[in-house]
C-alpha cells in the first residue's frame, strides 16, 4: 500500500504542471484529482504512473484520453499523489504521448519565449517569468570565465574629500528579516522545520515551480535553477533556493528583496 507523497489544491499547482511532476521525478503511484464543481457529473479522476510513465486513467465511465481531457477542464478541486502504489490493470499505450503533447503545447504557448530569454538575457536584467500560477523567475547557474575572477558590474564611487576620517562608530546591528515564514522543502514536496506563516499549499506551489524550472532548464540546456521567485498579486511572495537535496523556502510581503531573505536562511 502506498503513502500520500504530495497533496494540495489544483488552483495552487495547475493540472498540467501536476501531471508533469510524477513524470519528471520518475515516480510510481496513483494521482487522484477530486473536482469541487457542484455541476460535475463525475467528481474523481485517477491516473496511474509507472516509473514516470502515465499508463492508465479513469473518470467515471471514461478512460484513457477521454478521462484526461475531461479532467483538464476542471478549475477547482483537490489532488493527492499516492506514492509507490503498485499498478494493476490494463495499460493504455496512447495516454502518455497525449499528455506529452498537451505539455508541449502548453510550454510553447506560455513559456517558450521566456525560456529562450532565460539562456540569453544580459547580466543584471530582470529574470523572465516561469510557467506558474503567479509570475515566477528562475535563475540558472551562470558559467564562469576560463580563468580569473568573475567580472562584476562597476559601481559609482564618489571622490573622497580631503577631510579627517569620521569618528569611529559602533557596528550596525544585523538586518531584521521581513519574512512572514520559512521552512525546508524535501525532494517529496513536504515541508519541515516550518516557522511563521508557511503552509503545505505554499510548499506544493514552490515544489511545482522548481520542477517546471528544472524541466525548462533541461530543455534549454542551462541546467537546474538554483532559486525560484514567485511574485504574485496577493499579500505574500514566495521564494526558494536549492540546498543540496532539499530547498530553503520563505514567504514574504510584496516588494520584499527575496534574494536577501533567502541569503539570511
Highest mean pLDDT among 1-5, 159-163, 168-172, 219-223: 219-223
How far lies 31's CA from each of 1, 28, 81, in Å?
14, 10, 4
Query: What is the pTM for the complete model shown?
Result: 0.43
How far lies 101's CA from each of 65, 94, 125, 188, in Å?
12, 11, 32, 26
Highest mean pLDDT among 1-10, 63-72, 145-154: 63-72
* pLDDT at residue 48 tops 80: yes
Strand partners, 81: 6, 31
- What are the strands of the beta sheet with 53-59, ordered from one edge? 3-9, 77-83, 29-35, 44-50, 53-59, 62-63
Highest mean pLDDT among 70-79, 100-109, 124-133, 144-153: 70-79
pLDDT at 145: 44
C-beta of residue 57 within 8 angstroms of C-beta of residue 64 = yes
pLDDT at 55: 93
Long-range contacts of 261-265 (CB under 8 A, 24+ apart): 261/177, 261/178, 261/179, 262/227, 264/175, 264/177, 264/179, 265/182, 265/241
CA–CA separation, 185 and 198 (whole Å): 11
pLDDT at 53: 92
* pLDDT at residue 189 tops 50: yes
pLDDT at 218: 76
CA–CA separation, 185 and 230 (whole Å): 15
Strand partners, 172: none
CA–CA separation, 194 and 198 (whole Å): 7
pLDDT tens string 210-253: 888 878 877 777 677 778 888 887 788 888 888 888 888 899 98
Which of the four pLDDT bands, split at 50, 70 and 90, describes residue 39? low
Question: ∠ at Cα 105 (101, 107), nearest 5°?
Answer: 115
- The x, y and z cell numbers of residue 106, run together, are 502548453
pLDDT at 130: 38
Q: Which ranges in the chain are annotated with CATH 3.30.450.30?
A: 128-141+178-265
The per-residue pLDDT of the chain, averaged, comes to: 75
Under CATH, which number does the domain 128-141+178-265 receive? 3.30.450.30
Amino acid at each position: 500500500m502506498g503513502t500520500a507523497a504530495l497533496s494540495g489544491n489544483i488552483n495552487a499547482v495547475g493540472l498540467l504542471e501536476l501531471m508533469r511532476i510524477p513524470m519528471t521525478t520518475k515516480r510510481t503511484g496513483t494521482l487522484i484529482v477530486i473536482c469541487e464543481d457542484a455541476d460535475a457529473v463525475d467528481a474523481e479522476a485517477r491516473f496511474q504512473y509507472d516509473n514516470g510513465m502515465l499508463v492508465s486513467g479513469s473518470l467515471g465511465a471514461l478512460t484513457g484520453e477521454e478521462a484526461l481531457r475531461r479532467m483538464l477542464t476542471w478549475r477547482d478541486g483537490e489532488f493527492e499523489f499516492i506514492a509507490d502504489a503498485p499498478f494493476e490493470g490494463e495499460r493504455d499505450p496512447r495516454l502518455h504521448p497525449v499528455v506529452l503533447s498537451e505539455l508541449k503545447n502548453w510550454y510553447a504557448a506560455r513559456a517558450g519565449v521566456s525560456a529562450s530569454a532565460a539562456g540569453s538575457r544580459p547580466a543584471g536584467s530582470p529574470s523572465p517569468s516561469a510557467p506558474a500560477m503567479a509570475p515566477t523567475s528562475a535563475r540558472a547557474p551562470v558559467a564562469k570565465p576560463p580563468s580569473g575572477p568573475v567580472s562584476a558590474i562597476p559601481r559609482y564611487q564618489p571622490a573622497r574629500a580631503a577631510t579627517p576620517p569620521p569618528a569611529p562608530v559602533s557596528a550596525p546591528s544585523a538586518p531584521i528579516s521581513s519574512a512572514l515564514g520559512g521552512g525546508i522543502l524535501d525532494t517529496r514536496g513536504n515541508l519541515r522545520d516550518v516557522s511563521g506563516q508557511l503552509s503545505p499549499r505554499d510548499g506544493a506551489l514552490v515544489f511545482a515551480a522548481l520542477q517546471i524550472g528544472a524541466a525548462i532548464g533541461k530543455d534549454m540546456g542551462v541546467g537546474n535553477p538554483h532559486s525560484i521567485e514567485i511574485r504574485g498579486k496577493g499579500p505574500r511572495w514566495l521564494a526558494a533556493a536549492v540546498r543540496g537535496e532539499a530547498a530553503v523556502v520563505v514567504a514574504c510581503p510584496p516588494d520584499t528583496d527575496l534574494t536577501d531573505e533567502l541569503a539570511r536562511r
